[in-house]
Amino acid sequence: MLDIGQIHRKEYESDADLPGQIVIARAPGRVHLLGEHGEPKFSSCLSSAIDRYIYVAVSQRKDNSLRFFAANSDERKRSSITNLKYKREDRWSNYIKAAIQVFASLGRLVKGLNVTVWGGVPQQIGLASSTVMEMATVVALRAFFKVNITDRDLIGRLIKEREAFFGKPVSFADYAIILNAKADGFIIVDEHKRETRTVPIDFAGYKMLIMDSRVPRFNIEQELRQRRHDVRKGFESLFPKKELREINDKMFASVNLTELLSGLPETIRRRMLFVIQEMRRIGETEEALRKKDFQLFSRIIFHSHEGLRDLYEASCPETDWLVKRGQETEGVFGSRMTGLGFGGCTYAVIKEESIPEYKKRLEDYERIFGFHPIIYEVAPAQGAGLISV
């Protein structure tokens, strides 16, 4: 990794004589393992932070300018305290501005800032790189301004500013995973209650492979909106006297789903069946991991992908093929599509000695589909934190 502190000092050497240190923070990428297509008002997801990071360095300026430097691309952006707003042409720096706005709203932004970003989280493949950048920035700024604010409040304020900047809702889950994840466990996030809990795992001898299918994705937001609409319509039909937030997984623990869903239109029935089964799978997976039953964990993960393929219909032939190769490889304990779907990535939990065999099985992918997959080897990681102050 490059020394971001040294890069920062070189970029902003004209401000080097100012009092105060450079504050450096880092935040990990994240991968969803189960549940990301659930209804946010009552569902949970099982996820992990991964050991690919974005680093952010912050220091004071002599003037009221805000200067941003992306070390990876050697790109520079600028703004000011009085003009801290979204601009389409500012692209990646809008996420940093949203993070800065958290502290401007607290009355802490009275002088300009220099900010340097260096990233190792692959972009635009569903690993939350923009959210990671925001979290690394707010963690650095919290220390820089010496603000006494809880993690929960910090996330809440950042979500508020992000939504105001970009004009659309964002997920609490991604922020909570990136900030609260543990290197020795997976994390379960309850989106509605805004609570997290860690499921301990012994990952010694294992890796997680993330396969970028390289499939181009078009108009997937419309497809996903339709699926979310179908799910909400289904729950409203089943429970007309209940608010969505009153629904929970315990309501389906001993219910015959075939009978429960039999009166729904076929498409809505399939979407509902997947979401309810996925709610059950979160609890089943937690129990399997606590018992160190990787065989059961594997079966649950494979079944989840089958549901994404056959019921929720969010996978594609390319990701199905990648998952199938995982099922055929000894030492793979679960493989599944992750993220929005319709392309994107799959993951596989795999014994380290089985990685060469699995990669060999993927050699035919480009010949069959015309895309060359990119494979990332990762492991669970600790949540966002300070590197130096």
Of 111-125, 235-249, 310-324, 334-348, the range with the lowest mean pLDDT is 235-249
Distance CA 96, CA 212 (A): 26
Q: Are residues 85 and 9 part of one domain?
A: yes
Asked about 74 being catalytic, the answer comes back as no
Of 15, 153, 174, 310, which residue is the catalytic one? Answer: 174
CB 111 within 8 A of CB 104: no
Task: Give the whole-angstrom CA distance, residue 99 versus residue 108.
Answer: 13
Pairing label, strands 65-70, 113-119: parallel
- Whether 133 shows a pLDDT value over 90: the answer reads yes
Per-residue pLDDT at 83 exceeds 90: no
Residues 175 and 249 placed together within one structural domain of the fold = no
C-alpha span between 115 and 70 (Å, rounded): 9
**CATH number of the domain encompassing residue 10:** 3.30.230.10
Does residue 1 surpass a pLDDT of 60? no
pLDDT per position as a tens digit, 19-54: 668 999 999 999 999 999 988 777 899 999 999 999
Task: Identify the three-state secondary structure at position 65.
Answer: strand
Mean pLDDT of the region 237-261: 81
- Residue in the block written with tokens 């042409």: 89
In which domain, by residue range, is 295 found? 206-378
Instruction: Give pLDDT, residue 21.
Output: 84
The number of beta carbons lying within 10 Å of the beta carbon of residue 50 is: 23
Asked if 174 and 216 touch (Cβ cutoff 8 Å), the reply is: no
Strand order in the sheet with 206-212: 332-338, 345-351, 206-212, 374-378
CATH of residue 237's domain is 3.30.70.890
CB atoms within 10 A of CB 236: 12
Indicate whether 46 and 187 sit together in one domain. yes
Residues 109 and 248 placed together within one structural domain of the fold? no
How many domains would you assign to the chain? 2
Which backbone phi and psi does 340 adopt, to 5 degrees?
-65, -35
Write the burial class of residue 297 (CB in 10 Å: 0-12 exposed, 13-18 middle, 19+ buried): buried
Is there a single domain that holds both residue 23 and residue 143? yes
Q: How confident is the model at residue 110 (pLDDT cuts 50, 70, 90)?
A: confident
Given a cut of 90, whether residue 251 has pLDDT beyond it is no
| CA proximity to 27, closest of 1, 2, 60, 49 | 49
Q: Is a pLDDT exceeding 70 seen at residue 89?
A: yes
251 and 334 inside one domain = yes
* Residue 186 and residue 258 share a domain: no
What distance in Å separates the CA atoms of residue 96 and residue 98, rounded to the nearest whole number? 5
Q: Are residues 46 and 132 in the same domain?
A: yes
Residue 18 and residue 120 share a domain: yes
Q: Tokens 């304990």 label which residue?
A: 333
Q: For the chain, what is the mean pLDDT?
A: 92
Which H or E run includes 132? Answer: helix 129-144
Residues 178 and 294 in one domain: no
Band (261; pLDDT cuts 50, 70, 90): very high
State how far the Cα of 28 lies from the Cα of 131, in Å rounded to an integer: 10
- 253 — pLDDT class (breaks 50, 70, 90): confident
Q: Are residues 197 and 210 in the same domain?
A: no
pLDDT for 19:
60
| 265 and 172 assigned to the same domain | no
Of 35-44, 141-150, 199-208, 227-236, where does mean pLDDT reach its minimum? 35-44
